[in-house]
Every structure is written in C-alpha cells, then in structure tokens.
Amino acid sequence: MKKVVLSGVAPTGTLTIGNYLGALKNWKEMQKDYDCLFMIVDMHAITVRQDPSSLYNRCISFATQYLACGIDPQESTIFIQSSVSAHSELAWILSCFTHLGELNRMTQFKSKAKRYSSNINAGLYTYPVLMAADILLYQTDIVPIGEDQKQHLELTRDIAQRFNNLYGEVFKLPEPYISQMGARIMSLLDPTRKMDKSDSNPNNYIALLDEPDVVRKKIRHAVTDSGSEIRVDERKPGISNLLTIYSCLSEQPVSKLEERFAEKGYASFKEELAELIIQTLKPIQKEYRRLMDNRDYVIDLLQEGAKKARTRAERTLREVKKRIGFLYLTQDQQ
C-alpha cells in the first residue's frame, strides 16, 4: 500500500514560479511513489470575498495548470474541494473538538485579519479546522506544505489526537513535508517577503502563464543588491533569491552557479535566468493552452476526481459519525 499524500492550493491570485518550485514540481515527483490527492481549495478561498465568475474560471484554470505541470490524472486524484461535501461536514464536527485558544494562536489568521480588516468573518477564523478536515478525511500520511502552514498541520494533529483519545483510532496522524528545494521563493521587488500569488503588484512574481517578454522585463527589474558579486549571502537577499530560483530550475547546486557566474555581472546573469525561466514555462504554457481549448475534458477529469475522492472521504466520515453516536442513514434509507 502506497502512503497517502494530500495537498491543495486556494484558487486566488495567479500561480507563480513560487507555487511551481514550492509545490507543483514536488507533487509531480511524488506521484509515482505515493497515492496522491491534489485539491483546489475553493472553500478556503471564499474566506476572502471572491467574484463568482473569476472564482469559477480560476478553479478551471488552476486545475489545468496542475495538469500542464505534469500532475497525471491517471496517477493522482485531482479535485475541487467543494465538490466533496464531506469536507464541510467533517469540518463542523471537528470544530466542536477545537478550542478557541488554539485558533487564537494561529498566525495566519492574525495576518489575514489585518490584511482583510473589513471582512474578518468566522470562516477566516475556522479556516484551519476545514484544513484539518481536508487532511484527516483521506487518512493522509504526508502533507506537502510551505513553512507558513506548519502551524495548521500541528493543529490538525492535535485535533486528530484529541478525537482518537475520545473515540478510538479513527484518524491517521499526518506528517508535514517541507521540501528544502524551493521551500521559499521570495518576491522580486522585496526579497525579504515571500513571493505571493495574491500580491497586488504582479512585478513581484513570475506567473506560470507570463509571456516571455513579461518574464524578461520582470527579471530585469528584480531588485539586486549593492556590489556586483553573484553569490548567496544573507546580506544580499535579492541576488540570493535569483540564484535560488536558478538553482531550483536548473537542478544545479548554488555553489556551481556561483563559480559559473563569478566573472559575470548582474545583467548577464539576469538575462540567462530569464531565458531559463522562459524555457521551463514554455512546455507548460503550450500544454495549458491545449487543455484550455478542451475545457470539457478538464471538467470531466474533475468530475472523475471528485467521484474518487467522495468514495474515500465518505468512508472516514461514516466512521466518525458512527463513533460520535450520530444515527447514520445512507441516502437510500432516508
């Protein structure tokens, strides 16, 4: 039996090379060795106000970008979170096993409450409980996430353990997986901040769907540091970030790149980096366009994915309901 891997991205903003290097590229590599489920978490997305037609289109576009990046629907289960109602059902149950004190400690809630101060809704607050439901429904072993989600995973484990202590071993305790390569790609204009797909200034990120000329322009304008040496140094966050991107995309160690660019200036390094990004994105964009011309095929795949996910999720949900004493009736018996 392969171990279960589950992860998801919220359909907000624009998928970036940060998402590619920190998530999609690793997912692609994991799918051969693991039983993988990859979601588009639209229910998490609505904790921030979304325009309905943009949300709808972005879900299809993100799913298509997953596929174009090499997530294989024969190997992995790709689905939209809201298509599997067990997520909301389990989230409610788990919310009754989560303390306010635990949610109060979540740093993402605090930062999002600041960022979206005009709409601090209950969903934003209980967001980590829904994430726990996402994970626990599938008896997940490993959850690939970014550093910023570690706290949510620890909470997931605490909730699972609390439930298991009360009702017996229902949930598997998941482990986080934070890949070192590409774990943190930084913003192009402010390399002390993470490259964020919801950044209001697109010059801070390279989108997976950026045209070559746009990539060249953004890299040319990326902040570098004083001095002219091309090496990783914590006092040089700009050039360090660009070297990290180069290293992840080319799968060459940074030390080799430092040697290679020792005699070169920032301008020619940036030029080469832009070309490397363009070449990496080219086949992804080509496949994206091909699939977007066959939207019905993508929607069919998402239907299939949801069907597979539903069957698996239902198994856990049924067990949970039984253990807490709910009268479990299947649809046919109602």
Write out the residues near ligand AMP by the rule CB under 6 A. 9-10, 18-19, 21-23, 145-146, 182-185, 194-195, 197
Distance of CA 75 to the CA centre of its chain: 19
Alpha helices in 12-70 (DSSP H): 17-19, 25-30, 42-45, 52-68
The single residue of 25, 28, 32, 112 carrying the catalytic annotation is 112
41 binds, among ligand TRP, ligand AMP, none (CB under 5 to 8 A by kind): ligand TRP
Q: Does 36 bind ligand TRP (CB under 6 A)?
A: no
CB 219 within 8 A of CB 277: yes
Tell the burial category of 114 from Cβ atoms under 10 Å away from its Cβ (0-12, 13-18, 19+): exposed
9 forms beta bridges with 40
Q: Does 5 bind ligand TRP (CB under 6 A)?
A: no
Select 81 or 163, whichever has its Cβ closest to ligand AMP: 81
- Least distance in Å: CB of 8 to ligand TRP? 4
- Least distance in Å: CB of 108 to ligand TRP? 7
- Least distance in Å: CB of 195 to ligand AMP? 4
The single residue of 25, 28, 197, 218 carrying the catalytic annotation is 197
Tokens of 128: 């980590």
Cα separation, 182 vs 142, in Å, equals 18
The end-to-end CA distance of the chain, in Å, is: 35
Give 187's DSSP letter. P
Select 134 or 210, whichever has its Cβ closest to ligand TRP: 134
CB 84 within 8 A of CB 313: yes
Give 178's DSSP letter. -
- What is the phi/psi pair of residue 333, to 5°? -85, -10
Among 143, 195, 222, 277, contact with ligand TRP (rule: CB under 6 A)? 143
Select 7 or 241, whichever has its Cβ closest to ligand TRP: 7
Among 4, 6, 80, 195, contact with ligand TRP (rule: CB under 6 A)? 6
Distances in Å between the alpha carbon of 85 and those of 25, 82, 206, 310, 319?
A: 28, 6, 34, 8, 16
Q: Does 137 bind ligand TRP (CB under 6 A)?
A: no
36 forms beta bridges with 5
Choose the stretch contacting ligand TRP; rule: CB under 6 A; options: 6-14, 244-252, 264-272, 317-325.
Answer: 6-14
197 binds, among ligand AMP, ligand TRP, none (CB under 5 to 8 A by kind): ligand AMP
Among 59, 78, 131, 306, contact with ligand TRP (rule: CB under 6 A)? 131
143 binds, among ligand AMP, ligand TRP, none (CB under 5 to 8 A by kind): ligand TRP
142 binds, among ligand TRP, ligand AMP, none (CB under 5 to 8 A by kind): none
| Contact flags string 191-230 toward ligand TRP, x per CB under 6 A | ----------------------------------------
The single residue of 25, 28, 194, 270 carrying the catalytic annotation is 194
Strand residue runs (E) in the chain: 4-9, 35-40, 77-80, 142-144, 175-177
Subset of 72-111 contacting ligand TRP (CB under 6 A): none
Q: Does 59 bind ligand TRP (CB under 6 A)?
A: no
Tokens of 247: 């290293």
Question: Is 197 assigned a catalytic role?
Answer: yes
Of the candidates 147, 177, 135, which has an alpha carbon nearest to the alpha carbon of residue 41?
Answer: 135
44 binds, among ligand AMP, ligand TRP, none (CB under 5 to 8 A by kind): ligand TRP
Torsion angle of the four alpha carbons 63, 67, 72, 77, in this order, in degrees rounded to the nearest 10: 0
> Catalytic site residues?
112, 194, 197
Q: Which residues bind ligand TRP (CB under 6 A)?
A: 6-8, 10, 41, 44, 131, 134-135, 143, 145, 149
